[in-house]
Structure 1
Amino acid sequence: MEISVNTFISLDGVMQGPGGVEEDRSNGFERGGWLVPHSGDGQLDPVGGWFRKADAFLLGRTTFEMMRMYWSQVTEPDNIVATALNTWQKYVVSDTLSDTDAAWGKTTVLRGDVIEQVRRLKDQPGGELQVHGSWRLARTLHDAGLVDTYRLLQVPVVVGDGKRLFADGAVPATYRITESEVLDGGAGVVSLTLRQAGFGTTGTGEFTVEDGNEAVV
């Protein structure tokens, strides 16, 4: 299986609390809801496509509990997000969550060495193991070189505070943009799909600009 990280992100890389002020107030975050003014007129259309590509989901405990609280109440059969989350296989990373507490459709709790367990999941046949939200888990997987694809909806807003997808200290990596689209509606949301093209380095070399017959470095 391949691992994809799918998330909303601001111009300055914040992924915390996009959907509402009360969504995630951890670490004193008070700027939630920054996605909402940009969420109309087709700006979230790619999300359904994300979920159609999933075979299973890998979530951190906080995101798992937030998703379960909301999506377990959504029963419309044509809602692909609700159908996927309520009925497909989910893995939640937690050393404290019991199997009983994690009851939500097909859910397995991963305890202990998350990297080793995720490596075993990647070795299984199948399509995508999708991460949604799950800030700490996403960073752990990135730093271990386990993320194959990022799908981002980048919103034209600077939040200025909050959990960032690639905070200081992230392992260097290089990505190739395989899909990009400025979504209709005039809000300026950009849909990006990126595939890992190199891990542990940003590449080497020098940029030169030709000035007459001389190269300026």
Structure 2
Amino acid sequence: MTRRLIITENITLDGVVENDGTWFDPTDDSEQGRELAEVTREHAAASDGFLVGRTTFEEMREFWPRQVDDGTGVTDHLNRVEKFVVSRSLEDPNWEGTTVLHGGDDLVGQIRELTAREGRDIVLTGSISLAQQLLAAGTVDELRLFVFPVVLGTGRCLFPEGTTLRDLTLAESRAFSGGVVLLRYTR
């Protein structure tokens, strides 16, 4: 079975995915945080690949491996899966199980090669520019949007002006106790 490429993003009602630290906390231990951690574990169980750009990779590499008693399961997942980081400058990823994809003109071809291999899902999170590029290239099989009931009015959006996606089918909608809604769309 070939792999699917899935984009998972935390997003505000006005489309912002850039986290300024005020609206999303991946270590939230509230009831909603525990619910979101549970669905994240469900999604993680179906994947064996993690794809990010360099900035997101470096942020995650500095944060997740240092978590002790991580109840979300993210640390264990990230340490276990094959990680792919797109970067033209990163030489030593310094995180076991990481492959650097040097991108360039053939990035989409490199991603298609990864998804053509046997395996489970490859999940991209954060990495706004990379997500936008892969959406535009038509290589994304599913969008998982955790929509937070927040309007920021500013910040980087997943869908910049001019983005067109018309071939989406709603696969799931699930509401959580604190008002977050998961919307899963397939292409």
Partner of 1:119: 112
How many residues are aligned here? 177
Q: Does 1:42 find its partner at 2:32?
A: yes
Q: Does 1:68 find its partner at 2:70?
A: no
1:26-37 alignment runs, 5 A limit: 33-36=22-25
Q: Secondary structure at the match of 2:31?
A: coil
2:180 to 177, 189, 207: 189
Distance 1:88 1:75, change over 3 A: farther
* Letter of the 2:40 counterpart: V
- Greater relative contact order, per chain length (Cα 8 Å cut-off, separation 6+): 2
Contact 1:92 1:108 in 2 (8 A): yes
* Letter of the 1:35 counterpart: F
1:85 to 78, 93, 104: 78
- Counterpart-to-counterpart distance in 2, 1:182 and 1:85: 26
Q: Give 1:191 shift.
A: 1.2
- Counterpart-to-counterpart distance in 2, 1:49 and 1:42: 15
Q: Give 1:47 shift.
A: 2.0
Contact 1:6 1:50 in 2 (8 A): no
Q: Give 1:172 shift.
A: 2.9
- Counterpart-to-counterpart distance in 2, 1:52 and 1:159: 32
Q: Give 1:177 shift.
A: 1.1
Partner of 2:17: 15
1:161-172 alignment runs, 5 A limit: 161-172=154-165
Q: Secondary structure at the match of 1:51?
A: helix
Q: Which protein is richer in helix relative to its size?
A: 2
Distance 1:147 1:110, change over 3 A: same
User: What per-residue deviation string (whole Å, max 9, x for no partner) do you get for residues 155-189 of structure 1?
Assistant: 111111111111112243321111111112xx211
Runs of 4+ in 1 over 6 A off after TM superposition: none
Higher mean alpha-carbon deviation, 41-50 vs 85-94, is at 41-50
Partner of 1:107: 98
* Letter of the 1:156 counterpart: P
- Counterpart-to-counterpart distance in 2, 1:53 and 1:67: 20
Runs of 5+ consecutive residues of structure 1 not aligned to the other structure: 21-32, 197-217
Q: Does 1:145 find its partner at 2:147?
A: no
RMSD: 1.7
User: What per-residue deviation string (whole Å, max 9, x for no partner) do you get for residues 24-60 of structure 1?
Assistant: xxxxxxxxx2235xx5312423222222221110101
* Letter of the 1:2 counterpart: R
* Letter of the 1:174 counterpart: D
Structure showing greater Rg: 1
TM-score, length of structure 2 as denominator length: 0.88
Runs of 5+ consecutive residues of structure 2 not aligned to the other structure: none
- Counterpart-to-counterpart distance in 2, 1:87 and 1:181: 27
Q: Secondary structure at the match of 1:154?
A: strand
User: What per-residue deviation string (whole Å, max 9, x for no partner) do you get for residues 59-102 of structure 1?
Assistant: 0111100000001112548652111112321000000111x2x1
TM-score, length of structure 1 as denominator length: 0.76
- Counterpart-to-counterpart distance in 1, 2:97 and 2:61: 12
